[in-house]
């Protein structure tokens, strides 16, 4: 008698394909089945009208509220004010300056984020040091033959980006100094840094902005006046540097003690040790944390509307009060929310991806 290996039978039809997937993921047990049906019902009865309102019954073309007739969302409102949402009250003839600054920013960020591009260090230095100065002259003007554009004309998405980028770039060096100070062995330096960090981290950004707009003018001699935007930027930078310091401290602490000791053994001085050995390793570990604080800052820039600056959200609020367009506030909130969401979500995805990449690298935990 011959024994032969029988070919494997196919799995039962209710374990593979669509049915199998449904059974495994949606109906694996009575409780889950009921939950699926109930939640599915609510989702469908909620999502269908919402999608209908946003896409199907909505109006896109036109130039006044009379063109919004179909009962759905009135995107005409947003489209007719798109320039204001993006650029605030920046003079139309000078818009190319904003756009140039924006494309330079996006270009350098894409360069840094793409894995295969060369010379990332140079681009980072350009983005963190040269770009902010160049962008200031480009946006503010009054030199190099450019017309001056007062900061009260800045607004919309571009102001939000200005606040966030300046906030993060300016708070980085301050945060590094504070983090190093907090790690220092000198008691006075350490306590000054700890007090500074804990005070800013303990109060809401709103009170900091109030302070910057009300108290700051009192601190300086008579006749020295600050621009409203500059005052907000000072407040945001001080506030942000405390958070940045904590992120950097986390990165410094993640470097094994052996690295510090090896640098000491080589006879490197404090600054040589920090700049040549510790910081290059720590900065890599800090990038996800820095991106996360950047996301928080990006969302927090919307608070400047309370002290009277016209960022993206404030432009939306102002548009809602336009008597010609009363009653379409949902559309403008949705649009502004979408703008913020796109930026924050892509940044958080990037930081998650980076964390995964760093995690699988050489184990660096002490």
Report the candidate in 226, 240, 81, 234 with the shortest Cα–Cα distance to residue 156: 81
Give the angle subtended at the CA of 87 by the CAs of 84 and 88, to the nearest 5°.
55
Position 202 contacts another protein (CB under 8 A): yes
Q: Kindly state the smallest distance separating residue 50's Cβ from another protein, in Å.
A: 13
Binding mask 296-315 for another protein (x = CB under 8 A): ---xx-xx-xx------x--
Give Cβ neighbours of residue 68 (< 8 Å, ≥ 6 apart): 59, 62, 74, 76, 77, 328
Position 218 contacts another protein (CB under 8 A): yes
Position 340 contacts another protein (CB under 8 A): yes
Which of 112, 146, 192, 254 lies at the binding interface for another protein (CB under 8 A)? Answer: 192
CA distances from 10 to 6, 14, 182 (A): 12, 11, 64
Which of 118, 145, 221, 363 lies at the binding interface for another protein (CB under 8 A)? Answer: 221
Q: Give the residue with the Cβ less far from another protein, 171 or 213.
A: 213
Question: Tokens standing for 354?
Answer: 């980076």
DSSP tag of 57: S
* Total binding residues toward another protein, as defined by CB under 8 A: 64
Residue list 8-47, contact with another protein (CB under 8 A): 25-26, 28, 32, 35-36, 39-40, 43
CA distances from 118 to 62, 112, 113, 276, 288 (A): 47, 9, 11, 21, 21
CA distances from 64 to 68, 138, 316, 319, 326 (A): 8, 34, 17, 13, 12
Which of 242, 295, 309, 319 lies at the binding interface for another protein (CB under 8 A)? Answer: 295
Binding site for another protein (CB under 8 A): 25-26, 28, 32, 35-36, 39-40, 43, 184-189, 192, 198-199, 201-207, 210-211, 214-215, 217-222, 260-261, 263-264, 267-270, 273, 295, 299-300, 302-303, 305-306, 313, 317, 320, 329-330, 333, 336-337, 340-341, 344-345, 348
């Amino acid at each position: 008698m011959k024994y032969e290996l029988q070919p494997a039978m196919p799995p039962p039809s209710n374990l593979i394909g669509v049915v199998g997937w449904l059974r495994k993921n949606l109906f694996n047990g009575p409780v889950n089945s009921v939950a699926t049906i109930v939640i599915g019902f609510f989702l469908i009865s909620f999502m269908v009208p919402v999608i209908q309102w946003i896409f199907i019954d909505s109006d896109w073309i036109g130039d006044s509220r009379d063109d919004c007739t179909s009962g759905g969302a009135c995107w005409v409102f947003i489209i007719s004010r798109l320039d204001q949402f993006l650029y605030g009250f920046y003079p139309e003839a000078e818009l190319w300056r904003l756009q140039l600054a924006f494309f330079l920013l996006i270009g350098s960020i894409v360069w840094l984020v793409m894995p295969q591009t060369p010379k990332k260090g140079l681009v980072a230095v350009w983005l963190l040091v040269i770009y902010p100065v160049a962008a200031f002259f480009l946006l503010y003007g009054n030199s190099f033959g450019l017309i001056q554009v007062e900061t009260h004309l800045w607004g919309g998405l571009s102001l939000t980006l200005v606040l966030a980028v300046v906030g993060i770039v300016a708070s980085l060096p301050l945060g590094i100094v504070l983090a190093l100070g907090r790690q220092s062995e000198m008691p006075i330096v350490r306590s000054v840094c700890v007090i500074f960090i804990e005070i800013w981290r303990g109060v809401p950004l709103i009170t900091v902005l109030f302070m910057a707009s009300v108290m700051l003018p009192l601190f300086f001699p008579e006749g020295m006046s600050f621009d409203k935007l500059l005052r907000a930027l000072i407040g945001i930078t001080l506030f942000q540097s405390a958070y940045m310091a904590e992120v950097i401290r986390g990165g410094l602490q993640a470097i094994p003690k052996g690295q510090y000791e090896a640098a000491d053994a080589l006879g490197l001085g404090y600054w040589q040790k920090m700049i040549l050995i510790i910081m290059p390793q720590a900065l890599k570990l800090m990038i996800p944390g820095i991106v996360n604080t950047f996301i928080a800052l990006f969302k927090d820039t919307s608070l400047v509307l309370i002290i009277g600056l016209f960022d993206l959200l404030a432009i939306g609020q102002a548009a809602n009060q336009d008597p010609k367009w009363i009653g379409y506030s949902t559309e403008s909130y949705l649009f502004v929310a979408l703008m913020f969401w796109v930026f924050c979500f892509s940044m958080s995805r990037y930081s998650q991806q980076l964390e995964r990449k760093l995690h699988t690298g050489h184990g660096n935990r002490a």
